[in-house]
């Protein structure tokens, strides 16, 4: 019997959470060490699977498939391919780094780390599930811990932001569940009995026997849930509030991997199972992608709160993911997936740096900051690296991902006018350069302010965390093939179904 590596990775954080639940609440160091240990082991195993991953096959690997609820033909079906393997690695990496970012949490550390670990399990389950019902259950698992993390350990209007996140997510999830059930019952026309099996549903156009109008409607029902999570304009308004009021580590997870669940779901389910519907809706969705890019970048220019600035920049950069997905070319889909990974580590680092600045100065308002470069040289250098990666500086992961998105989109034949939309999307980079450089100048440079004299720089744990982010950004920027060769294996079958 083969070892269920994926299940071990997915449920290790839950095991850690159970152990923490039995630890006394007055032993915060032991609680932190357990959380760090279990997330580190999950990261090590996922890194091992990534290195062990067969780069000559586009098939699902490390498969675990057993009957779960036979009465409805639901399975406990786990597996990863070139599309999901990088997302699993990203989640375990950011899960471990989020624990390090949370090292100084004093308020109810026991409950905090339990919530953080359960959140990681939910996200890992989404990226590993190949059964639609199982996928949906893991999709919902993250809702409760995220609500608790924002509403209890957040700041500002934390209860409002947490409830807003829940409402948006539940509405999107309800529509997505309706679409999944329509797909489940419709699949009986094709296979003789209904199925939740994603790989079977995404076979050689098995759903063509179903009426086109029903396929188009089902696509949009499922897509809506993913569009909320991405987030796509105009379904984005929950994100700035959630980011601004969430604790730093939760912002890292939220921007780093939670948003990626939306882009991943669009590729794995919407495009893969409904290729014809994806081609039909592509003009509308590409237009909304460009609006997200330009709107998010323009609004970012007006922000005075550091966290809110990074939050709106996420709306813009996730617009590139949407653009790459519905350009529907091999290169653009690889670029969109790489952009999800790249955005995860870049924006995760940006939120970690904002958290450090706030911890040292107790200020997040940009007009009140300034001249910090002399007091915190390590923080300013790493913050600058993250900012330059965000604007797509060559040699960073941001450049590699955005270049592939633009290249694949410009030469797309999905519909007429793709070139114009791509050029408009490129303008987002110009605006990004403006708000990133302007932010760095106002926060770190200029004459030092007396109130910040003696402010400390990053300590050893903080440096270990932020330098790990920097290493990932540079490695992928210098040698993107470390990911693109794997991602390509997951994209090739999807391109075959699209027939473009």
Q: What is the mean pLDDT of residues 292-298?
A: 92
Confidence of residue 389 (pLDDT cuts 50, 70, 90): very high
Asked whether residue 190 carries a pLDDT value surpassing 70, the answer given is yes
| Contact indicator for 257, 349 with CB cutoff of 8 Å | no
Confidence of residue 318 (pLDDT cuts 50, 70, 90): very high
CA distance 454 to 458: 13
Asked whether residue 500 carries a pLDDT value surpassing 70, the answer given is no
CA distance 313 to 94: 19
Look at residue 130 in the predicted model and tell me its pLDDT.
Answer: 95
Look at residue 206 in the predicted model and tell me its pLDDT.
Answer: 57
Q: 2 or 56: whose pLDDT is higher?
A: 56
Query: Between the CA atoms of 329, 330, 334 and 335, what dihedral angle is there, to the nearest 10 degrees?
Result: -40
Asked whether residue 163 carries a pLDDT value surpassing 60, the answer given is yes
In terms of Cα–Cα distance, which of 18, 3, 9, 149 is closest to 92? 9
Look at residue 52 in the predicted model and tell me its pLDDT.
Answer: 93
Residue 397: how many CB atoms within 10 A of its CB? Answer: 26
In terms of Cα–Cα distance, which of 199, 208, 109, 200 is closest to 152? 109
Instruction: For helices 85-101 and 5-21, give the axis angle rounded to 10 degrees.
Output: 20
Asked whether residue 1 carries a pLDDT value surpassing 60, the answer given is no
Tokens of 22: 């039995």
Residue range 432-476, pLDDT digits in tens = 888 899 888 888 887 878 888 888 888 888 898 899 999 999 999
Residue range 360-385, pLDDT digits in tens = 888 888 888 888 888 888 999 999 99
Q: What is the mean pLDDT of residues 146-171?
A: 91
Confidence of residue 76 (pLDDT cuts 50, 70, 90): very high
Look at residue 235 in the predicted model and tell me its pLDDT.
Answer: 87
Look at residue 342 in the predicted model and tell me its pLDDT.
Answer: 94
Cβ within 8 Å of residue 359, ≥6 positions away: 104
Give the three-state DSSP class for 470: helix
Residue range 8-52, pLDDT digits in tens = 999 999 999 999 999 887 888 899 999 999 999 999 999 999 999
Look at residue 92 in the predicted model and tell me its pLDDT.
Answer: 96
Look at residue 64 in the predicted model and tell me its pLDDT.
Answer: 93
**H helices of 328-417, where?**
330-361, 377-390, 397-410
Look at residue 224 in the predicted model and tell me its pLDDT.
Answer: 93
Asked whether residue 482 carries a pLDDT value surpassing 80, the answer given is yes
Cβ within 8 Å of residue 68, ≥6 positions away: 74, 75, 76, 77, 131, 134
DSSP 236-299: -THHHHHHHHS-HHHHHHIIIIITHHHHHHIIIIIIHH-HHHHHHHHHHHHHHHHHHHHHHHHH
Look at residue 103 in the predicted model and tell me its pLDDT.
Answer: 87
Look at residue 187 in the predicted model and tell me its pLDDT.
Answer: 86
Spacing of C-alpha 7 from chain mean position = 20
Chain length of the chain: 500
Tokens of 268: 């794995």
Look at residue 192 in the predicted model and tell me its pLDDT.
Answer: 82
Asked whether residue 270 carries a pLDDT value surpassing 90, the answer given is yes
Percent over 90 (pLDDT), the chain: 61
| Contact indicator for 62, 6 with CB cutoff of 8 Å | yes
Asked whether residue 332 carries a pLDDT value surpassing 80, the answer given is yes
CA angle 478, 91, 232 (to 5 degrees): 85
Q: What is the mean pLDDT of residues 486-495?
A: 92
CA angle 67, 70, 71 (to 5 degrees): 165
pTM of the model: 0.93
Give backbone dihedrals phi and psi of 353, rounded to 5 degrees, phi first: -70, -40
DSSP 54-112: -TT--S-EEEEEEEEEGGGTEEEEEEE-TTTHHHHHHHHHHHHHHHHHTTT--SSHHHH
Residue range 203-246, pLDDT digits in tens = 755 566 778 888 899 999 999 999 999 889 888 889 888 888 88
Mean pLDDT of the chain: 90
Q: What is the mean pLDDT of residues 89-114?
A: 91
Look at residue 286 in the predicted model and tell me its pLDDT.
Answer: 95
In terms of Cα–Cα distance, which of 298, 312, 255 is closest to 427? 298
């Amino acid at each position: 019997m083969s070892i269920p590596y994926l299940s071990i990775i997915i449920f290790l954080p839950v095991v850690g959470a159970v152990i923490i639940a039995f630890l006394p609440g007055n032993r915060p160091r032991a609680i932190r060490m357990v959380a760090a240990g279990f997330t580190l082991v999950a990261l090590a195993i996922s890194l091992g699977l990534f290195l062990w991953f067969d780069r000559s096959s586009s098939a699902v690997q490390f498969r675990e498939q057993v009957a779960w609820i036979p009465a409805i033909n639901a399975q406990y079906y786990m597996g990863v391919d070139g599309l999901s393997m990088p997302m699993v690695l990203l989640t375990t990496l950011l899960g471990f780094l989020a624990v390090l970012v949370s090292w100084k949490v004093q308020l109810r550390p026991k409950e905090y780390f339990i919530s953080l670990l359960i959140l990681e399990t939910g996200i890992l389950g989404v990226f590993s599930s190949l059964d639609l019902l199982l996928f949906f259950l893991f999709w919902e698992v993250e809702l409760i811990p995220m609500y608790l993390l924002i509403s209890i350990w957040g700041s500002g209007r934390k209860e409002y932001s947490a409830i807003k996140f829940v409402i948006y997510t539940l509405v999107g999830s309800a529509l997505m569940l309706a679409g999944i059930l329509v797909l489940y019952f419709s699949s009986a026309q094709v296979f003789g009995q209904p199925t939740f099996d994603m790989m079977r549903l995404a076979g050689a156009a098995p759903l063509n026997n179903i009426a086109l109008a029903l396929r188009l409607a089902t696509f949009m029902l499922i897509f809506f849930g993913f569009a909320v999570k991405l987030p796509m304009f105009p379904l984005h308004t929950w994100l700035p509030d959630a980011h601004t009021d969430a604790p730093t580590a939760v912002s890292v997870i939220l921007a780093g991997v939670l948003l990626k669940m939306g882009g991943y779901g669009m590729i794995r389910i919407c495009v893969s199972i409904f290729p014809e519907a994806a081609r039909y809706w592509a003009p509308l969705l590409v237009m909304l992608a460009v609006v997200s890019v330009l709107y998010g970048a323009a609004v970012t220019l007006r922000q005075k709160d550091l966290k809110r600035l990074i939050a709106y920049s996420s709306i813009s950069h996730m617009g590139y993911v949407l653009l790459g997905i519905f350009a529907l070319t091999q290169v653009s889909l690889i670029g969109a997936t790489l952009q999800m990974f790249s955005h995860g580590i870049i924006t995760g680092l940006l939120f970690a740096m904002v958290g450090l600045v706030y911890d040292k100065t107790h200020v997040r308002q940009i007009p009140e900051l300034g001249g910090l470069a002399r007091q915190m040289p390590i923080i300013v250098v790493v913050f600058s690296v993250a900012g330059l990666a965000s604007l797509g500086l060559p040699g960073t992961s941001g450049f590699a991902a955005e270049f592939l998105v633009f290249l694949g989109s410009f030469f797309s034949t999905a519909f007429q006018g793709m070139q114009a939309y791509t050029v408009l999307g490129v303008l987002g980079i110009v605006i990004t350069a403006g708000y990133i450089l302007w932010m760095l100048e106002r926060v770190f440079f200029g004459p030092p302010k007396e109130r910040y004299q003696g402010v400390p720089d990053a300590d050893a744990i903080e440096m270990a965390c932020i330098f790990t982010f920097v290493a990932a950004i540079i490695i992928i920027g210098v040698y993107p093939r470390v990911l693109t060769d794997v991602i390509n294996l997951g994209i090739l079958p999807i391109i075959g179904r699209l027939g473009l």
